[in-house]
Amino acid sequence: MNRRLLIFAIILEAILIVSCERITPRVPADDQILDGPIDGLSSAEKTRFLAGDVAFNDEIFTRETGLGSVFVATSCGSCHAGDGKGTLFTTLTRFGQTDETGNKFLHLGGPQLQNRAIPGYTPESIPAGATFSRFTPPSNTGLGFIELVSDEDILAMADPSDLDKDGISGVPNYGALPSFINALPNAIPKNGKYIHRFGKKAAAYSLLHQTVNAYSQDIGISSAFAPKDVYSGQEIDPEISNLTINNVVFYLQTLKAPIQRDQNDTQVQRGKQTFIDLGCQGCHKQTLKTSLSPIAALSNKTFHPYTDLLLHDMGSGLDDGYTEGSAKTSEWRTPPLWGLGLSPNSQGGQYFLMHDGRARSIEQAIQMHGGEAGASRDRFKKLAQGEQADLIKFLKSL
């Protein structure tokens, strides 16, 4: 009888083992997903990446772990799903600042609206008289490269008084550094203020700055870096360790850059030429380079984000009357276009483009360009339909 049992077991095992590898889902191609580390990390670096990945995507805060008391969402991953862009559903609101003299509504909950609260607390609402803007989450891939563009390179792209007469100026957002941030050795400050680069208004200096603010303002998690409770404004014990924050920063730094698809497609290549001809590159700069980094895989690399990290006046249509740092209300930082074609994978199959997701297609996004980008928008409008299609195909390949 044991022999029969053995045969039974062996047959069963055979079925199991043969089929295990076959009938399980395939890994999506690397160029189809945003998440994943950059190549060339050491194993210690990979371990940190994974620790940051877990904290960013899987750690969901609850009342017991410090959530709120007022907040916008319960984890980084709930707004930055798959590290891609968000939708109107994950959009957050900021209010209360109209010029470089700062936010006038800090005592009434500004700058960020915490529209949710744990039971027993009242969420915030926008105070009377405050102007506001809505921000849709950007994707957060390739940010480690962006963080390492030197101030010198950024300043070289700026043209505040439009000396080259192309209608495009471009200025950096200068801001004061919070006490927990040390300026990079190659930083070029002006009157004690430093060039900021992250966020829609380029109002965050570094990924650490952005991350600390996100924990505090988005989730209501205080840290040793930002010990004030969002609700009471009083200093409370840290609700997250410095180690976790540093791991999340490391994760953001080492997330791979989106990989372009269909590069050899002739339509894509024609579209790329159109992109150059229309002057889109005046702001969406194709190639930038990193400076020296302790993470070898990021050091001295060229990459293709399609941004100049500068603020541009985008016209009255995109002026919400709200701003941050030294930016004007009509000024927005050029968003990187890499990963654009993969946006629908995190936006529920749709597009929600521009700072508040108001553009529902790439065409609409281009049509909404105004101000400094007005000329290139007009050139886009004059294109033959086929040429427009080429351009869109190129943008979707990014």
Partner 1 sequence: MKKQLFSLYLLFFCQVLYGQTDTSFFFTRVKQDSSKLKLNMDAVYNRPFLQMGKLPVSLGGYLEANSSYFSTDGISDGLSFQLPRLTMFMSASIRQRIKFMTEIEFEEGGREINIEFAALDLEFNPLFNLRGGVIMNPIGSFNQNHDGPKWEFVSRPVSSTTIIPSTWSNVGFGVFGKYSRKDWVWAYEAYLSNGFDDNIINNNQNRTWFPASKANGDRFEESFNGVPLKTVKMAVKHRKVAEIGLSWMGGVYNKFKDDGIILDKKRQLNFIALDINSTILKDTYLNGEWVWAYVDVPDTYIQQFGNRQQGGFLDIVQPIKKGKMLGWSESVLNVALRLEYADYNVGNFQELGLRIADHMYALVPAISFRPSAQTVIRANYRYERHTDLLRNPASQTAGFQFGFSTYF
- Chain residues that interact with ligand HEC, rule: CB under 6 A: 56, 72-73, 76, 78-80, 90, 92, 135-138, 140, 143, 168, 198-200, 207, 210-211, 214-215, 218-219, 248, 252, 275, 278-280, 282-284, 312, 314, 318, 332, 334-335, 337, 340, 353-355, 362, 365-366, 369, 372-373, 376, 380, 395
Q: Which of 17, 128, 163, 384 binds partner 1 (CB under 8 A)?
A: 17
> What's the CA gap between 75 and 137, in Å, rounded?
13
Q: Which of 54, 91, 108, 187 binds partner 1 (CB under 8 A)?
A: 91
**125 is an interface residue for partner 1 by CB under 8 A:** no
Question: Residue 10 Cβ, how far from ligand HEC at the closest point, in Å?
Answer: 51
Question: Residue 20 Cβ, how far from partner 1 at the closest point, in Å?
Answer: 5
Residue 312: contacted member of partner 1, ligand HEC, none (CB under 5 to 8 Å, by partner type)? ligand HEC
Q: For partner 1, what does the binding mask look like between residues 61 and 90, x meaning CB under 8 A?
A: -xxx--x-----xxx--x--xx----xxxx
Residue 124: contacted member of ligand HEC, partner 1, none (CB under 5 to 8 Å, by partner type)? none
Of residues 20 through 39, those in contact with partner 1 by CB under 8 A are 20, 23-28
Residue 72 CB partners (closer than 8 Å, separation 6+): 79, 92, 112, 113, 114, 115, 116, 217, 218, 219
- Identify which of residues 223 and 345 has a Cβ nearer to partner 1 in the complex: 345
**123 is an interface residue for partner 1 by CB under 8 A:** yes
The alpha carbon of residue 37 and the mean position of all alpha carbons in its chain are separated, in whole angstroms, by: 16
- Identify which of residues 2 and 234 has a Cβ nearer to partner 1 in the complex: 2
Residue 10 CB partners (closer than 8 Å, separation 6+): none
Residues in binding contact with partner 1, number by CB under 8 A: 49
> What's the CA gap between 108 and 113, in Å, rounded?
10
Q: Which of 98, 115, 131, 281 binds partner 1 (CB under 8 A)?
A: 115
- Identify which of residues 171 and 259 has a Cβ nearer to ligand HEC in the complex: 171
Residue 125: contacted member of ligand HEC, partner 1, none (CB under 5 to 8 Å, by partner type)? none
- Omega before residue 69 within 30° of 0, cis: yes
> What's the CA gap between 266 and 273, in Å, rounded?
11
Question: Residue 16 Cβ, how far from ligand HEC at the closest point, in Å?
Answer: 41
Name the residues that contact partner 1, by CB under 8 A.
1, 4-6, 8-10, 12-13, 15-17, 19-20, 23-28, 60, 62-64, 67, 73-75, 78, 81-82, 87-91, 115-120, 123, 345-350
